[in-house]
A and B are shown apart, each in its own frame.
Chain A
Amino acid sequence: NAGVTQTPKFQVLKTGQSMTLQCAQDMNHNSMYWYRQDPGMGLRLIYYSASEGTTDKGEVPNGYNVSRLNKREFSLRLESAAPSQTSVYFCASSDRWAAYGYTFGSGTRLTVV
């Protein structure tokens, strides 16, 4: 009963390095999302994928790219990490957009130095 699985759980990057955050869900959900969580800012949507084969920008997409690899997997890539991207990143999935709410992963705590 895994739900939404994110890897890695923790990561430290140097400015300018790149990395990919992985997310996989086993609930046969159509929609997947990437959020970042910062103190005082709440959850901000980075990118989302309404269905396999589609991706769209959210509120804060700059500096990120995504890939919906298949129905289960949705990855987030930082091409050239910046200290402003230090955050906790959450992946989520849902069926029928979000009518029944989201299921969240456990998060990736990323620090860019």
Chain B
Amino acid sequence: AQRVTQPEKLLSVFKGAPVELKCNYSYSGSPELFWYVQYSRQRLQLLLRHISRESIKGFTADLNKGETSFHLKKPFAQEEDSAMYYCALFPGNTPLVFGKGTRLSVIA
């Protein structure tokens, strides 16, 4: 069965420190993966898709098929990065499968 695991419920880092939000998936095919961000009491917004290989707000994510991971990274955290982050998998012809989310807290 398809599954997305985000092992950390909460991640606290200091401003200016590197950030890595972990995401592991279980899927037998070629995955399409996403990261969504939700700022306090707002709607979820698409942060990035692995197929576009883009960098948004300084965040990047690389698909590692060998480790079945899609970790989200940023070299220098900012206070405005504090939010809830969800990793999601598109299995094909069924809805997105979301992880349970990681709350990132950036400490000034």
* B43–A102 CB distance below 8 A: no
B11 at the interface (CB under 8 A from A): no
A97 at the interface (CB under 8 A from B): yes
- The listed residue (A33, A40, A98) touching B90 by CB distance below 8 A is A98
Instruction: Determine chain B's interface SS by DSSP, over half rule.
Output: loop
The answer to whether A97 and B44 touch (CB under 8 A), given A42-B99, A42-B100, A43-B86, is: no
A2 at the interface (CB under 8 A from B): no
* A98–B95 CB distance below 8 A: yes
- Chain A residues with CB under 8 Å of B46's CB are 101-103
* A104–B45 CB distance below 8 A: yes
Place the interface of chain A in its size category. 20 to 34
Place the interface of chain B in its size category. 20 to 34
B30 at the interface (CB under 8 A from A): no
Determine how close the nearest CB of chain A comes to the CB of B31; give it in whole angstroms. 12
29 A-B pairs (CB sep. < 8 Å): A33-B95, A40-B9, A41-B100, A42-B99, A43-B44, A43-B98, A45-B95, A48-B95, A58-B95, A92-B44, A97-B90, A97-B92, A97-B93, A97-B94, A97-B95, A99-B90, A100-B49, A101-B36, A101-B49, A101-B96, A102-B44, A102-B46, A102-B96, A104-B43, A104-B44, A104-B45, A105-B43, A106-B43, A107-B43
Which residues of A are interface residues toward B (Cβ below 8 A)?
31, 33, 40-43, 45, 48, 58, 90, 92, 97-107
